[in-house]
Amino acid sequence: MMKADDGTWECGSCGFTKPTGDAAQYTVTEDQEVGEIIESSEETALPETDAICPECNHDRAYWYMQQIRSADESETRFFICSECEHKWREDDN
């Protein structure tokens, strides 16, 4: 996994480094650890689905999945409201 460090991407396994580029093209959500970054732009590439926002009750949200627990646990679904941009997550129970 590549982590951002002082304007450079660094691979935790092999030590490969690469400049990070323009920081304005990345979004870090509240639930991410420092160094976990999702690339974004004005026009999002994330898929959209029916989901009720807990903040504004809008019925559409962008979503993505991320492995945040051990490998034998299911992925966590993250949602971003397409209206107010509130972010929340949904774990499998």
SS3 of residue 23 by DSSP: helix
Residues annotated within the binding site for Zn(2+) are 11, 14, 53, 56, 81, 84
DSSP class per residue in 25-89: GEE--TTSPTT--EE--SS--S-EEE---TTT--SEEEEEEE--S-TTSPPEEEEEETTT--EEE
Confidence (pLDDT) at 57: 93
Walk along the chain (93 residues) and give the pLDDT tens digit of each residue.
677 767 787 877 787 887 776 655 555 555 555 555 555 545 557 899 999 999 999 999 999 988 877 777 788 889 999 999 899 988 765
Residues annotated within the binding site are 11, 14, 53, 56, 81, 84
Confidence (pLDDT) at 74: 80
**DSSP structure class, residue 24:** G
Confidence (pLDDT) at 31: 58
Domains for the chain: give ranges and CATH numbers. Answer: 1-41 (no CATH), 44-93 (2.20.25.10)
